[in-house]
Amino acid sequence: MNSMQRVMKAISHEEADRVPVFHLLSSYGAKEMEISIEEYFSKAENVVDCQLKMQRKYSSDCLYTFYYAATEIEAFGGNVIFRDKTPPNAAEPFIKSIEGIKNIEIPKIEESKSLEKILKTTRMLKQSVGDEIPIIGVVMSPFSLPIMQMGFENYLKLLYFHENEFNQLMKLNEEFCVKWANTQLQAGATAICYFDPMASPTIIEREKYLKTGHVIAQRVSKRVNGPLAIHLASGITLPVVDDIVDCKAAVLGFSNKDNLDKIKDKSKNKICLLGNLNGVDMINWNAKKAREEVKYLIKKLAIGGGFILSDNHGEIPYQVDESILLEISNCVKKFGRYPIEME
């Protein structure tokens, strides 16, 4: 069974040959190539070669075209800060005031060098693996992107006190998000990961989300021409599982803070779970700890399908030792074979 078949079984809530594992490796590729993160992301060829290498090395069931979250900020004309051994981040917010929202224009994807590199990466990966391995593209949700566009504090002011300007920015972001998602699908992405940390009750109350980000996600999901995975980037997920199911998502990235029994029950035959190894803690793991964590997740979540083992944030930290990733994959192969047989 190849990776695509294995993942499709999981999404269909069926048991494949084994539990799929997604090692979501982005900046980690620079570590593999022993070059700086900025140099690594400077050429699509670097990312393509390393994604293929890491997929084989770590037995991952996906390829990941995600560069860094601030790629979309670059498309809007903002700047990015590169540092050693840490994901690139957005520089100073380019929306300086709420009044400045009226001057924002939707980026033209074909004119963005940062987005074009991702599209080139997607096309090259598709040419290499065809339909045997899922290729996961990424968009920032219109509802969460303003954290980088204008800064978190100013965004909260916009969200709670400036309805007209909020709606104006959401309209712009939504149009860009849909176009960017569909362009990646046209280039060869199998599915789109919709990162939406603002959807989590970790950040805002569910009532506010239902009136804002949830409505936006529902609209976006209807316009994206392919499967959607909604990921809350390590935010707690359990209180909004049914809401995300309403958005017609196929996969839900959940937190290591979520109750496993409850989220398995709530998602059963509704949405496939993706998670939830703690990537930050993983930096300090040894082989024994990795085995314990993987075995526990498989025991709790794997029976009956509907589960893809991964980290809980959507990106493996640069500092995680490669031996831990290898141990995770080896444990999935050993303990994640169906039918699951564990003490």
For the chain, the distance separating the N- and C-terminal CA atoms, rounded to the nearest angstrom, is 26
Which residues sit opposite 195 in a β-bridge? 140, 231
In the structure encoding, which two tokens stand for residue 202, read together? 């970790």
Rounded distance, CA 68 to CA 82, Å? 10
Arithmetic mean of pLDDT over the chain? 97
* Model confidence pLDDT, tens digit, residues 231-281: 999 999 999 999 999 999 999 999 999 999 999 999 999 999 999 999 999
Which residues sit opposite 139 in a β-bridge? 194
What's residue 283's pLDDT? 97
330 in helix, strand or coil? helix
Q: What is the pTM of this model?
A: 0.97
What's residue 341's pLDDT? 83
Burial state string for 16-40 with b = 16 or more CB within 10 A and e = fewer than 16: bebbbbbbbbbbbbbbbeeeebeeb
Query: DSSP states of 8-54 as a string?
Result: HHHHTT---SB--B----STHHHHHHTS-HHHHTT-HHHHHHHHHHH
With contact defined as beta carbons under 8 Å apart, do 21 and 332 qualify? yes
In the structure encoding, which two tokens stand for residue 21, read together? 């594992």
Rounded distance, CA 38 to CA 31, Å? 12
What's residue 249's pLDDT? 97
With contact defined as beta carbons under 8 Å apart, do 241 and 206 qualify? no
CATH topology of domain 3-335: TIM Barrel (3.20.20)
How confident is the prediction along the chain (343 residues), in pLDDT tens digits per residue? 999 999 999 999 999 999 999 999 999 999 999 999 999 999 999 999 999 999 999 999 999 999 999 999 999 999 999 999 999 999 999 999 999 999 999 999 999 999 999 999 999 999 999 999 999 999 999 999 999 999 999 999 999 999 999 999 999 999 999 999 999 999 999 999 999 999 999 999 999 999 999 999 999 999 999 999 999 999 999 999 999 999 999 999 999 999 999 999 999 999 999 999 999 999 999 999 999 999 999 999 999 999 999 999 999 999 999 999 999 999 999 999 999 986 6
137 in helix, strand or coil? strand
With contact defined as beta carbons under 8 Å apart, do 108 and 175 qualify? no
Residue 337 DSSP label: B
